[in-house]
Structure 1
């Protein structure tokens, strides 16, 4: 009996030693893997999935006359997603068109004066030529009659008549020259009016284009393909120009922004592979690679960045945003959502 008990005791000791050895091997294996992983990887759970979110704005003020989208509804780029009442803007276009027609009429009126002014200039020029000939003739007649009067061949009345004709011819010449100067001045005035009318037409055309542009803004168009976010927009609601109505979340492109500690990025480079674990889908294996680094820490983008020069400095490990592209994005779009928390594991060696 003692021999059997000794054998059983020896077998139990051997089993315990074996189990202890096996446990030690398993523990060493896991410790080795942990240490090896820590030496060759950098990990953070301060990461989220990101995508493009486009704000949908109203370019003009007005009352919403049509809006039927539901929260989180899918829309395509170019779809009309809301309509602002356009009566006011249609009237503005009509008013701008009428103003443009009036400006064009003013230009036609100014241009129609040029032929009349040109005709007056021609008549004045011709009159000057005639009056200059008449003055020269009257001058010669005075010289001749003066000699005849001194000889006693003509009477004083005849001589005075010659002098009067000479003076009249001179005054007629001065009058014709004055009419030519006036016609030249009228030409400059008419040309200035034409230039002013053309400038007015350009201004009215610009106003018409602006009115038509505002009219086109009454139809709010989807700037990209995606899903409508939470909306509180209703028909009949008044919106301001530049007011954000809701956001349009794109579902065509996703990426991960992981915030690594500043002590972790020494060996991280663009192109290194990354294992991504989404908290909401732990059974999905997602891979990616680093595509870029932020040139500033997250604290620098905060609304009130810390001021370390105030004398109350406390050193805090900073976080650097790292951009990670997701591989095989097309097959994962049904599960990826902006804002989901993820864990990023970067292989650095």
Structure 2
């Protein structure tokens, strides 16, 4: 081998090494530009499905791990007690409405009596006025002898009788006016009875347990005949409309992660296919070792004797999750395309 060939081989080796170093640096830069983490899992919102009313379950229409759609009937509670309560509330409303009709007629009659009493008062005032005027005309005519004393005495008696009649009419009118009742109490009772009827009808509707959203039944371990108690969960309903990857990223990666940035998610059981998604939110904090605020997630540090970066949860929404592969808690790897919006 000549010296020229030797030098050419050395130059080629140097170039190859330089290219390898450049490629290595580019890969590192690319990795730094796309934060990734293996500390991630799949997540979906869940609802502890509990009835609003208590009663015996007469049928369960779903099985464990079954997919359901919004509006599907999941289970039924014996409706008979609630049907009877509806009938009872309906009868109570009808009885009070009949009582209100009777009271209204009575009030109308009482008002008519009060009006008649006021008419009597007006008539008595007219009679008293006439008696006073007659007495005033007769008094000057007694001395000249134009009117007898007997006639004057009769006029005085008539004036006193008219005054007494007016006083009696006024008292009777006051009594009639005070005796006029109202229907406000019965009307308030009817409003309460109608509200009770609406509640009874609602409870009857709640005996049919309806799926509020598309999801998957989980944790169903009861059969028909079980006594369901209001507010006590019967099973869990997984909201399959939205799936997320909860990824714990180092705090040094967070400046490169923006809300809306595209992300790729690989499942541990299917590393050949990436699931597209986008960053929905970044966690505002975690529980510190000395204790943090209530409700904050806990992300432990694995090396307590070495200062390492804290991890914070980042929520990634999966754009088109395959239903058959989605399981809460499944391990995934998440890569975020920094600065790459949807």
TM-score tier, shorter chain, comes to: 0.7 to 0.9
Superposition deviation, residue 262 in structure 1: 1.2
Q: What residue in structure 1 maps to residue 316 of structure 2?
A: 324
Evaluate the alpha carbon distance shift between residue 223 and residue 195 of structure 1 in structure 2; reply closer, same or farther with a 3 A threshold: same
Q: What residue in structure 2 maps to residue 97 of structure 1?
A: 90
Checking the alignment, whether the CA contact within 8 Å between 1:273 and 1:289 is kept in structure 2 is yes
Evaluate the alpha carbon distance shift between residue 59 and residue 316 of structure 1 in structure 2; reply closer, same or farther with a 3 A threshold: farther
Checking the alignment, whether the CA contact within 8 Å between 2:242 and 2:317 is kept in structure 1 is no
Checking the alignment, whether the CA contact within 8 Å between 2:135 and 2:159 is kept in structure 1 is yes
Checking the alignment, whether the CA contact within 8 Å between 1:280 and 1:340 is kept in structure 2 is no
Distance in 2 of aligned mates of 1:141 and 1:288 = 108
Distance in 2 of aligned mates of 1:38 and 1:119 = 95
Distance in 2 of aligned mates of 1:98 and 1:251 = 44
**Secondary structure of 1:252's match?**
coil
Superposition deviation, residue 174 in structure 1: 1.0
Superposition deviation, residue 142 in structure 1: 4.1
Larger Rg: 1
**Secondary structure of 1:244's match?**
coil
Q: What residue in structure 2 maps to residue 76 of structure 1?
A: 69
Checking the alignment, whether the CA contact within 8 Å between 1:298 and 1:318 is kept in structure 2 is no
Q: What residue in structure 2 maps to residue 54 of structure 1?
A: 47
Checking the alignment, whether the CA contact within 8 Å between 2:38 and 2:333 is kept in structure 1 is yes
Q: What residue in structure 2 maps to residue 345 of structure 1?
A: 335
Evaluate the alpha carbon distance shift between residue 84 and residue 137 of structure 1 in structure 2; reply closer, same or farther with a 3 A threshold: same
Distance in 2 of aligned mates of 1:147 and 1:276 = 122
- TM-score in terms of structure 2 length: 0.79
Q: What is the aligned counterpart of 1:172 among 165, 171, 191? A: 165
Instruction: Give ranges in structure 2 of 5+ residues lacking alignment.
Output: 299-305
Distance in 2 of aligned mates of 1:171 and 1:302 = 83
> Within the alignment, does 1:136 sit opposite 2:121 as a pair?
no
Distance in 1 of aligned mates of 2:297 and 2:217 = 33
| 1:140-183 deviation per Cα after TM superposition (whole angstroms, max 9, x unaligned) | 45456655655667776655444333222211111112222222
Instruction: Give ranges in structure 1 of 5+ residues lacking alignment.
Output: 1-6, 8-13, 307-313
Tell me how large the CA RMSD over aligned residues is.
Answer: 3.5
Distance in 2 of aligned mates of 1:297 and 1:325 = 20
The aligned length equals 319
Evaluate the alpha carbon distance shift between residue 274 and residue 165 of structure 1 in structure 2; reply closer, same or farther with a 3 A threshold: closer
